[in-house]
Amino acid sequence: MLPAQQDVLNIVQAKFLAAEVVKTIHLNVSVVDGPLENDNRILTLVEYNKSFALFVLVSSRIQPISFSDLSIESVIPLDQNFSFETEPVSGQNYVILIIRYKQNKYEFKIEIGKESCNFAAEIIHAKEVSLTGASNFTWLEKYFGTMNQANRNSETSISDQSDFVLIREGMAQGQASINRESMLKYQMKLREPEFTQKQEFTIFVGTWNVNGQPPSASLKSWLSVDEKPPDLYAIGFQEIDLSKEAFIFNDTPREAEWQKCVMDGIHPNAKYRLVALARLVGMQLAVMVNNQHYQYVKNVSFDTVGTGLLGKMGNKGGVAVRLELHNTSLCFVNCHLAAHVEEYERRNQDYKDINARVNFRKNPQAIKDHEQIYWLGDLNYRITDLTNTQVKTLLQRNEINTLLRADQLSQQRERGNVLLDYSEGDITFQPTYKFDLHSDIYDTSEKARPPAWTDRILWRGKGIHQISYRSHMDLKISDHKPVSALFKSEISVIDQTKFRKVHEDLLKKMDKHENEFLPQVMIDQTEVVFDLVKFREPQARYIIIANTGVVPAEFEFIKKLDEASYCKDWLGILPFCGSINPGEKCDVKLEVNLETDLESIYDILVLHLKGGKDMFITVTGNCQKSCFTQSLSSLVRIRVPIMQSNPQQYNLARNNQSPILYSVPRELWLLVDHLYRHGLKTRDLFESSALHEELIRIRDWMDFGSQDPLPGTPQAVAETFVLFLSYIKEPIIPFELQDVCVAAASNFQNCRQLLIQKLNDIHRTAFIYICMFLQELLKHSNDNGYDAKTLASLFGDILLRDSIRNAKPQASRGKANFMYNFLVNDLSALLIPK
């Protein structure tokens, strides 16, 4: 990272919380429709706890100096809705970075270079991390509020928070694997007849509103009246505890007391196990299953819903248990709906609320999604339009059917207001409410509530046959009598052998399908060998990626473990990621550009297909030595042009083991000498850029040596001179001295002292030599147009160059000041070694 970039990064980091780490930034970004100069945007990649987001920041200054100069334009989470690509623009030195997030598209111009390559690699890495982890993007929410006003309304920002929340929920579930499982489930269901058969199970459903009374009598006369033990019990109570404590803390000793009473009262001829017990305040529902079936019960879950006070409290509402018995899903709902004759609409609403709000958090989640539903409880529907006396008279005459016509539940169901699609057996028992305690006598109190069938059992689903529906008059401790219903229900039972066959068959099919739909590509070569690689003489090779599969192949070159980028710095890959449609091809350009001292190049590229395989591409080539990438100290030890030196001489020189032959390198002398003789009067000597071929001719002339004079115009030689100083292995003023030099810049004597004390002879001599030449140049200012300031800033950046090559060097005032000293003062004294 460039120092300047590091500074900005620190400023950008200040814009965020400490735990929100700015991973990388890209400076000088402009939006596509704007001018390239208007490049005050900063793309910022931020990580918080393994979740990443891209921030588009706008800087109010060209170079922000404080985080308050930055404002957030857009926030883009790197989740699965995020994708990006780059699009080259022919003949331009920038690419278009296209970022897509759902329906939004952002396009930015960024200059081609290391910065953009690294940035892209970081984003890819970030997305990969984001996708493999449990990313949670809630931390971004606070930034939506801070986005630029202008942008908040525009289409290109994700200010739609509700949408955003949805994304998060989607992410949290691990969609693909769930898809696979639900796909399997769905397919299994379709093929269910192949591996199941119907078997009848007896199900006993009971309901009793116990009016807050503690259990005091055996429940056998309710729960154990049939000859054969049922296969499954679902027993619901209401009002097991009417105390404030139960209401407020939803905790009551009665739960265990009643449950024990139930276990004691159920059929003695079989052993039962509790499958689930759910309670909300006074509503309790227990499901027990005959031991022999216990192992076939699975995916048990329950939920409770309060619809009482404030529409939420548990004094009224429902408790529900769901389970799968063999291969049939069952749901039991015990409810206690709103009281009072006139409140039937409230009861209808309670019913709807229970349906809407019960959520088992398993598939299926809602009551209605079960194959069989048993609905029981104190539904609290009354008898309307008849006086207490009329009801009692009709009852005495045993005219139950006449009475039933006045039953609110029957009326409301007929109108489709409640329990639609449910069935209820014929009622042959007398109303179960309201009795004087410990009696069979209907309410004789002042309130004199008319009797009503408040306690009911209904069902919904295929293959359910009711055997009996009755009340149990012997239990008198409450003002309600218990009710029970016995069902013979068809349960689909799995034949394990057949099931396994179908299951395996489906999995095989899904594997096959999945493997067939993996992305597949062929590449025309896995070995890329470059011709002799020469200093700054780019060479390209093309590989062809052909999509031979049936799905689009998204490819990308990925980083190897512990490497900073997806390829070495001498290589460029374009495009390094992309998407290829089936049957189509993509040419990928591999371009090598050598700027360092390497004997050979070698790298293995990893080409990854999203969701599929990786391919390895080996890149090799031999490199030609060049004086441009050597160190000063080796060059002064080589008598001849570098390509003429034999390997032994060369190695000794490289290791500083041979004697120093020159006070400045031959090559430096040749360049300076040429400029001295031909370039002193050339206007704008260092400003024009030479033809590439011309530079290569000069390079070869220097590396190989020649009888011919140095080829090229003074400008070309001047450019070579600058290149030479820029690429030399260590800058003339070594990195570690640069800070002290800059600090001393205001005082020539101090600078001089530094040079004498800190710089080694070879570097010092070269430095003085260069400065003296520049002073010579200044003597011809009238012709060449240079003044000391200009040269100082030009050469300050070269002789004190940064440790990381800067594509766009920015003049540093300090370095220029340092240089300036040596362009305007007498240097002769410095030449004599100390």
Partner 1 sequence: MANRTAQRPNGQTQGKICQFKLVLLGESAVGKSSLVLRFVKGQFHEYQESTIGAAFLTQTICLDDTTVKFEIWDTAGQERYHSLAPMYYRGAQAAIVVYDITNQDTFGRAKTWVKELQRQASPNIVIALAGNKQDLANKRVVEYEEAQSYADENGLLFMETSAKTAMNVNDIFLAIAKKLPKNEQNTGQAGNAQGRRLTEGDTGPKATGNCCK
The full length of the chain comes to 834
Q: To the nearest whole angstrom, how small is the minimum distance from the Cβ of residue 78 to partner 1?
A: 11
Q: What angle do CA 355, 360, 364 make, to 5 degrees?
A: 85
Q: What angle do CA 726, 731, 736 make, to 5 degrees?
A: 145
Q: Is 667 exposed, middle or buried (0-12, 13-18, 19+ CB in 10 A)?
A: buried
Q: To the nearest whole angstrom, how small is the minimum distance from the Cβ of residue 275 to partner 1?
A: 6
Q: To the nearest whole angstrom, how small is the minimum distance from the Cβ of residue 128 to partner 1?
A: 5
Q: To the nearest whole angstrom, how small is the minimum distance from the Cβ of residue 165 to partner 1?
A: 17
Q: To the nearest whole angstrom, how small is the minimum distance from the Cβ of residue 483 to partner 1?
A: 23
Q: To the nearest whole angstrom, how small is the minimum distance from the Cβ of residue 239 to partner 1?
A: 15
- Between residues 72 and 289, which has the closer beta carbon with respect to partner 1? 289
Q: To the nearest whole angstrom, how small is the minimum distance from the Cβ of residue 477 to partner 1?
A: 22
Q: To the nearest whole angstrom, how small is the minimum distance from the Cβ of residue 209 to partner 1?
A: 18
- Between residues 134 and 441, which has the closer beta carbon with respect to partner 1? 134
Q: To the nearest whole angstrom, how small is the minimum distance from the Cβ of residue 127 to partner 1?
A: 7
573 within 8 A of 567, measured Cβ to Cβ: yes
Q: How far apart are CA 583 and CA 129, in angstroms?
A: 31
Residues 6+ apart with CB under 8 A from 349: 307, 338
Distance of CA 273 to the CA centre of its chain: 44
- Between residues 274 and 661, which has the closer beta carbon with respect to partner 1? 274
- Between residues 59 and 328, which has the closer beta carbon with respect to partner 1? 328
Distance of CA 636 to the CA centre of its chain: 56
- Between residues 304 and 629, which has the closer beta carbon with respect to partner 1? 304
Question: Which two structure tokens, joined as six digits, stand for 800?
Answer: 């004190």
Distance of CA 434 to the CA centre of its chain: 60
Token look-up 């300090």 returns 814
Q: How far apart are CA 44 and CA 22, in angstroms?
A: 7
What does each C-alpha distance from 433 to 383, 438, 439, 471, 638 come to in angstroms?
11, 13, 12, 11, 114
- Between residues 61 and 508, which has the closer beta carbon with respect to partner 1? 508
Q: To the nearest whole angstrom, how small is the minimum distance from the Cβ of residue 501 to partner 1?
A: 10
Q: How far apart are CA 755 and CA 48, in angstroms?
A: 47
Which helix (H) or strand (E) covers residue 451, if one does? none
- Between residues 239 and 255, which has the closer beta carbon with respect to partner 1? 255
Q: To the nearest whole angstrom, how small is the minimum distance from the Cβ of residue 359 to partner 1?
A: 14
Residue from 724, 766, 533 nearest 629 by CA: 724
- Between residues 300 and 754, which has the closer beta carbon with respect to partner 1? 300
- Between residues 54 and 297, which has the closer beta carbon with respect to partner 1? 297
- Between residues 283 and 386, which has the closer beta carbon with respect to partner 1? 283
Instruction: Identify the bridge partners of residue 544 per DSSP, sorted by sequence position.
Output: 587
Helix (H, G, I), strand (E, B) or coil at 452: strand
- Between residues 169 and 414, which has the closer beta carbon with respect to partner 1? 169
- Between residues 163 and 514, which has the closer beta carbon with respect to partner 1? 514
Q: Residues 401, 405, 406, 409: is their CA dihedral positive or negative? A: positive
23 within 8 A of 127, measured Cβ to Cβ: no
> What are the backbone dihedrals phi and psi of residue 534, each rounded to the nearest 5 degrees, phi first?
-115, 155
Strands 585-592, 571-574: parallel, antiparallel or unpaired by DSSP?
Answer: antiparallel
Q: To the nearest whole angstrom, how small is the minimum distance from the Cβ of residue 611 to partner 1?
A: 4
576 within 8 A of 117, measured Cβ to Cβ: yes
What is the residue-wise DSSP string for 137-166? -GGGHHHHTTS-HHHHHSTTS---HHHHHH
Distance of CA 81 to the CA centre of its chain: 9
- Between residues 274 and 366, which has the closer beta carbon with respect to partner 1? 274
Q: How far apart are CA 96 and CA 86, in angstroms?
A: 6
- Between residues 78 and 741, which has the closer beta carbon with respect to partner 1? 78
Q: How far apart are CA 413 and CA 722, in angstroms?
A: 94
Q: Which amino acid is at 152?
A: R
- Between residues 617 and 830, which has the closer beta carbon with respect to partner 1? 617
Token look-up 């699609």 returns 421
- Between residues 236 and 679, which has the closer beta carbon with respect to partner 1? 236
Q: Residues 628, 633, 634, 640: is their CA dihedral positive or negative? A: positive
Q: Residues 414, 417, 420, 422: is their CA dihedral positive or negative? A: negative
Q: How far apart are CA 745 and CA 818, in angstroms?
A: 4
- Between residues 321 and 664, which has the closer beta carbon with respect to partner 1? 321
Q: To the nearest whole angstrom, how small is the minimum distance from the Cβ of residue 349 to partner 1?
A: 24
Q: How far apart are CA 594 and CA 61, in angstroms?
A: 36
328 within 8 A of 491, measured Cβ to Cβ: yes
Q: To the nearest whole angstrom, how small is the minimum distance from the Cβ of residue 526 to partner 1?
A: 5
Q: To the nearest whole angstrom, how small is the minimum distance from the Cβ of residue 764 to partner 1?
A: 43
- CB burial of 377-403 (b: ≥16 within 10 Å; e: otherwise) equals bbbbbbbeebeeeebeebbeeeebeeb
Q: How far apart are CA 261 and CA 646, in angstroms?
A: 103
Q: To the nearest whole angstrom, how small is the minimum distance from the Cβ of residue 277 to partner 1?
A: 6
Q: Which amino acid is at 212?
A: G
Q: To the nearest whole angstrom, how small is the minimum distance from the Cβ of residue 132 to partner 1?
A: 5
333 within 8 A of 377, measured Cβ to Cβ: yes
Q: How far apart are CA 443 and CA 434, in angstroms?
A: 6
- Between residues 47 and 537, which has the closer beta carbon with respect to partner 1? 47
